């Protein structure tokens, strides 16, 4: 192309145009934290001007920053081009014009980054490798390796502790099973005492009475033998129940007072037959105080068994003239008291606990403990014995007294049963 002018002619060959070979140097011109200028020196992360800084270390709270850069090319500076990236965050370059010479970063996670920026003239090459700034963002204390290690150790210790606890729990369960087995054996021994042994004692009384009557009163003797035979049948049934542990609440249907009255009658009869020579048998009575409450069946059975053993002891050992069983239904407790005016229990026997061949007292103590009841003895030589069983109402009574307020006004009743 040729152009003519006053000063001469101009020739222009487009094919001979060459790209500019000038590659400008890029410098960092500003560094800001959360939009604020950063002073140099002191506690500031900048120890010298950002233009001369290769590495900068920031805390985890200083992770919002911006970097400004510029190309050292003053020939038509508006047409200069820039590209930057943050190695560790960006995968590609961000290309911008000269009006956007700032790179902004917010809430970067703690780690080390490399900021790279390159510049070029409008048609020139990129200033490779460009300018680089190493930026290290320190982790918070809870993000540190040591803290994580400590957490892992604590977790392991916790798991170990849980494992040990579980082991101990299993051990305890195993021990409890063992104890339960031993307890079961004791219970069976007690059951045998309270059923078979006691029944055979009763039978012995009856047989002895029948034998005493045999020479003079054969009729009464055979009646006594018939009674003993039917009692033996009952004893077998009772023993079978105890051994098989299949007693489906045998005493539940009957009132406790009635049970004690018939037991007393039975013992009284046996005693009467044995002592026919002096005819000095004990007078037995049952009294009930307070409004009768339905007892929980299992508990009634346990209370009955305790009272029965106490009565049996009284008839067997006390040589008493009067024996009284008192059942008292109080608001918060059930109280069964059995007293006699006999010879009293030897204090050594009461203190001794277990005595070979005498399992009645240890047995009733165990029973009372099992049902959460209290068993008290008062005894004096020649003045008689009083045994009191106190069972908390929450354990004794089948239903809680929800109409308690009204029952405060209920009358106390006294009844006698013989
Ligand atoms: N009410 C009582 N009056 C006088 N002595 C008693 C009375 N109750 C118990 N004893 C004495 O306490 C002892 C212990 O009684 P316990 O019931 O433990 O055994 P046992 O009646 O002799 O035998 P078991 O009950 O094993 O058949 C009795 O042997 C008796 O001497
Ligand atoms: Mg006894």
Mean pLDDT (the chain) is 83
Ligand 1: does its nearest atom lie under 6 Å from the Cβ of 387? no
pLDDT for residue 189: 80
* Number of Cβ atoms within 10 Å of the Cβ of 323: 25
Which numeric CATH code is attached to 281-418? 3.30.565.10
* CA-proximal residue: ligand 1, atom 13 (nearest): 349
pLDDT for residue 74: 79
Share of the chain above pLDDT 70, in %: 88
The pLDDT of 136-159, averaged and rounded, is 93
Determine the residue of 317, 354, 362 to mutate for testing ligand 1's pocket, defined as the one with the most ligand atoms within 8 A of the Cβ atom. Answer: 317
Please indicate whether residue 293 or residue 328 has the higher confidence score (pLDDT).
328
pLDDT for residue 418: 31
**Residues sharing a CB contact under 8 Å with residue 305, sequence separation 6 or more, in sequence order:** 194, 364, 367
Q: How far is CA 217 from CA 3, 138, 208, in A?
A: 170, 113, 14
pLDDT for residue 253: 60
Residue 389 contacts residue 287 (beta carbons within 8 Å): no
Nearest ligand (C-alpha, residue 351): 1
pLDDT for residue 244: 57
Q: What pLDDT band is residue 221 in, cutting at 50, 70 and 90?
A: confident
pLDDT at 311 > cutoff 60: yes
Residue 323 contacts residue 263 (beta carbons within 8 Å): no
Domain borders along the chain are 2-143, 281-418
Determine the residue of 202, 340, 345 to mutate for testing ligand 1's pocket, defined as the one with the most ligand atoms within 8 A of the Cβ atom. Answer: 345
Determine the residue of 346, 356, 360, 364 to mutate for testing ligand 1's pocket, defined as the one with the most ligand atoms within 8 A of the Cβ atom. Answer: 360
pLDDT for residue 298: 79
Going from the Cα of 281 to the center of ligand 1, the distance in angstroms, rounded, reads: 18
* CA-proximal residue: ligand 1, atom 1 (nearest): 314
Matching residue, tokens 């010479």: 101
Ligand 1: does its nearest atom lie under 6 Å from the Cβ of 342? yes
Ligand 1: does its nearest atom lie under 6 Å from the Cβ of 210? no
Q: What pLDDT band is residue 409 in, cutting at 50, 70 and 90?
A: very low
Nearest ligand (C-alpha, residue 387): 1
* Number of Cβ atoms within 10 Å of the Cβ of 149: 10
The pLDDT of 102-114, averaged and rounded, is 90
Q: What pLDDT band is residue 403 in, cutting at 50, 70 and 90?
A: very low
pLDDT for residue 417: 33
Please indicate whether residue 253 or residue 317 has the higher confidence score (pLDDT).
317
Pairing outcome for strands 26-33 and 283-289? unpaired
Ligand 1: does its nearest atom lie under 6 Å from the Cβ of 306? no
The pLDDT of 140-156, averaged and rounded, is 93
Which numeric CATH code is attached to 2-143? 2.60.40.10
């Amino acid at each position: 192309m040729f152009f003519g002018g006053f000063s001469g002619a101009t020739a222009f060959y487009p094919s001979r145009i060459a790209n500019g070979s000038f590659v400008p140097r890029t410098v960092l011109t500003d560094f800001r934290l959360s939009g604020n200028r950063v002073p140099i020196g002191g506690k500031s992360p900048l120890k010298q001007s950002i233009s001369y800084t290769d590495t900068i270390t920031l805390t985890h709270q200083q992770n919002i920053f911006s970097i400004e850069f510029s190309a050292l090319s003053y020939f038509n500076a508006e047409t200069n081009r820039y590209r930057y990236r943050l190695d560790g965050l960006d995968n590609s370059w961000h290309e911008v014009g000269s009006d956007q010479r700032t790179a902004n970063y917010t809430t970067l996670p703690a780690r080390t980054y490399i900021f790279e920026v390159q510049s070029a003239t409008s048609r020139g090459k990129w200033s490779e490798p460009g300018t680089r700034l190493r930026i290290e963002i320190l982790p918070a204390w809870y993000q540190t390796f040591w803290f994580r290690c400590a957490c892992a150790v604590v977790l392991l210790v916790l798991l170990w502790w849980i494992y040990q606890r579980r082991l101990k729990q299993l051990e305890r369960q195993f021990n409890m099973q063992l104890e339960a087995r031993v307890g079961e054996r004791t219970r069976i021994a007690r059951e045998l005492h309270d059923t078979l042994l006691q029944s055979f004692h009763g039978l012995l009384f009856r047989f002895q009475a029948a034998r005493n009557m045999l020479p003079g009163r054969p009729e009464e003797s055979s009646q006594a033998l018939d009674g003993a035979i039917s009692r033996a049948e009952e004893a077998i049934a009772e023993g079978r129940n105890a051994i098989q542990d299949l007693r489906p609440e045998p005493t539940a249907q009957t009132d406790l007072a009635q049970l004690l009255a018939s037991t007393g009658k039975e013992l009284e009869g046996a005693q009467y037959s044995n002592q026919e020579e002096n005819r000095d048998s004990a007078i037995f009575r049952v009294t009930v105080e307070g409004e009768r409450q339905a007892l929980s069946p299992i508990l009634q059975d346990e209370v009955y068994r305790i009272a029965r053993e106490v009565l049996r002891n009284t008839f067997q050992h006390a040589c008493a003239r009067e024996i009284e069983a008192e059942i008292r239904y109080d608001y918060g407790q059930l109280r069964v008291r059995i007293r006699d005016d006999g010879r009293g229990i030897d204090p050594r026997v009461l203190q001794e606990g277990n005595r070979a061949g005498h399992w009645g007292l240890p047995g009733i103590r165990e029973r009372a403990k099992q049902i959460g009841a209290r068993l008290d003895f008062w005894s004096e030589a020649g003045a008689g014995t009083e045994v009191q069983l106190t069972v908390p109402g929450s354990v004794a009574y089948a239903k809680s007294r929800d109409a308690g307020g009204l029952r405060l006004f209920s009358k106390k009743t006294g009844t006698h049963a013989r």
